[in-house]
A and B are shown apart, each in its own frame.
Chain A
Amino acid sequence: MSANNVEMTAELIAAHGLSEDEFAQIVRLINRQPNLTELGIFSAMWNEHCSYKSSRVWLRTLPTDGPQVVCGPGENAGIVDIGDGQVAVFKMESHNHPSFIEPYQGAATGVGGIMRDIFTMGARPVANLNALRFGDPAHPKTRHLVSGVVAGIGGYGNCIGVPTVGGEVNFDAGYNGNILVNAMCVGVADADKVFYSAASGIGNPVVYVGSKTGRDGIHGASMASAEFDDKSEEKRPTVQVGDPFTEKLLLEACLELMAGDAVIAIQDMGAAGLTCSAVEMASKGGLGLLLDLDKVPCRETGMSAYEMMLSESQERMLMVLHPDRTEAAREIFDRWELDFAIIGETTDTRRFVIQHGGAIVADLPVDVLAEDAPVYQRPWTPTPAAPAIGSDAVAAPDDLAATIVKLVGGPHLCSRRWVWEQYDHMVMGDTVQRPGGDAAVVRVHGTRKGLAATTDVTPRYCLADPKEGGKQAIAEAYRNLSAVGAKPLATTDCLNFGNPEKPETMGQFVGCIEGIGEACRALDMPIVSGNVSLYNETNGVAIPPTPAIGAIGLIDDIAQMTTIGLRDDGDLLFIIGETRGHLGQSLYAREIANVTEGAPPPVDLATEKRHGEFVRAQITAGQVNAVHDISDGGLIIAGIEMAMAGGIGCAIALDTTHCALHALLFGEDQGRYLVTAAADKAAGLRAAATDAGIPLQQLGKVGGSDIVIDGITAIPLAELTQAHEDWLPELMRL
């Protein structure tokens, strides 16, 4: 009996993350016991991370179509039309489990992986974003994780030379045992130079390029499909190690190759490495594949077929090439000093056949691997409705000014400058809106067009009401894009949840998906790509439901882009949308008043759409000087953020006849924006709002060096700015 023909014990099967039923199904489908390599291949293809077995039935309910959509979910990334024969290619993906175990390499390889997804399709990556969620700032691991993750993201993105322009950083005790690292990348390609993963033709060469294969990352995808416990540190060897220099070479070599006509199909080797990429290419093309592992460039000697098939060594690609272009392709990779090896060929057998050492070590039907993975209708229980609470249930602050300074200078609203100054956010020379605003904007190179990108979700809303929270995540992304003047185009979702085998967790997932789907339909932001990360639990405690949303929008002419900074002394400050003083699940309620119950603010999608369209129309018409959406912390925080960004103060006045001042200031009612307009444009702005039936109210005036509320409370902008800028550097001080 060779090492490959081992007995399939219950322990072995369980160690591969397969249930007894799943194993029985494998035996039924292939009519025999699998050998060890085959078991490994099944575990790679059938784990949660690759097969979406718990989420698939729900993901199918999401809207994925629209006139702007060139390619929806199912490929390496989603593609949308941005006019002039160009497309944007984008996706967000999680690298949560590895980043918790080994923050620098986990985060770095997350960035590397998402960029490969983009350039695999023929697009040059032009922007990276990251949605990061850490535990309580006071938790003993938090500082270590923050510094490692941020350094890892910077270390990879800076080296490869793609700007990291935006994202989110949040702190919440709910992530103490499972941080979230969600990496998004946006690329640009010519519409007629996009590449897909479906292999075609019989007898065409299967080519391996990039780094050599080592023993790193074996079982990474399986680890990402299991819960953590106190021994999770022991999984460190399953985390891959990134090599951004090689990825830079791979990027340039691939794009150079793709400029010609050699490539039939291409797929990056990400989760589950060679196995997943090869099976996908064969499955999508309706073909079989024969691989000879003796031809695979290896970093170490004596690697078994099992190890090679499950390695997650980074910076590798698999391609099917036109046979008569293979030598020209080899010359390109030789020049970039990257490995290039023909390791197999396409066949008409629809079988996935692996040779090693002259023997066949695996022979499995492609369709069984790719399409017969179990699909579960997991039981779920709806999240109980949170009771709406009135503003009287949330006490007013004792000292308004001190409360505002505390919020602005606290973990949830402080400046993230300490983070994004470690990221090269300007390389490529097209970053026209840097981090710190509502959305980052990169110019489409050589044009006047701008691509705006944002990531959003408010997990405390999702926890209280998954459906409204799901809606709100999309709505906030829509607002952030609209606030810079970009027409929202499409969405990528990175769905981070706990253990789907628990009905409550599954209920959160289902609720969020329903909300996301409804909002994407209403706001015409179809989901074109995404990723699901389940089992974000440690010792049975799940993270808050966190469906991170990445979205992009298009600005036709960057001269019309807006920013959040207050601009001119004497400009008038207006609020768009209705302020009802909704304090339930607000940051104020949770952080200041210690009220954690209550329903989150409801999202009216029709209102969101009308308000967003109105804001964009005013931006295009040149009516407004600054725009900011109102989100965490309410209108006073939005106003202060605008003042800090512009370096000029403002005075506001509020009508407290029907609502308490603290509810007006800190309420998180949705569908609202702050805008400023020059005094001579105010009448036009008012008239436009009246015509469109949009609630618009003058809130105050720009000027001075203080934030003044109702003529009573005055807070020096300098004090706010200092509190805002100091918090994170203080936390991270060596």
Chain B
Amino acid sequence: MLSDCILIVCISICTAFLGEGLTWVMVYRTDKYKKLKAEVEKQSKKLEKQRETETNDRTQKKKLERQEEKLKNNSRDLSLVKMKSMFAIGFAFTALLSMFNSIFDGRVVANLPFTPISLIQGISHRNLPGEDYTHCSFIFLYILCTMSIRQNIQKLLGLAPSRAASKQGTGFFTPPTQLGR
């Protein structure tokens, strides 16, 4: 059981590095990405600073709105640049995951110290025989490992999106917000 767990941790470390490596080759090292990222970060920080000094001046508000629009466009472009690599990695990882899934099929890789809520049981007890819901499947442990390891690797390598940019909430999938209320 312990060897399975260690193997899963190793698998998620490898896949996290592989994912980041692939993204680096396809996205992070390109000039377009670097330029856009620098631009978005600069604008987010600037906007954050300007928002702190609240103003009632109309022209100032208009200026802020224009800047926000520009920032939104830039972050949308940034997400689009990332998108194509995301799809490639998504496909590759789905194939890898189904391979590991078949290797660990029906195998209890760990015992959970708690009984998960019914919503989670579908994942934590996936393809496992019996009714003991403290039995943990491969996929549950793999997801947990990936959640913790990938994020930390991104952070260590300095590849995580900056706080200022994510705080502005100007990603591709975030709904537009109104300014100056």
Same assembly? no
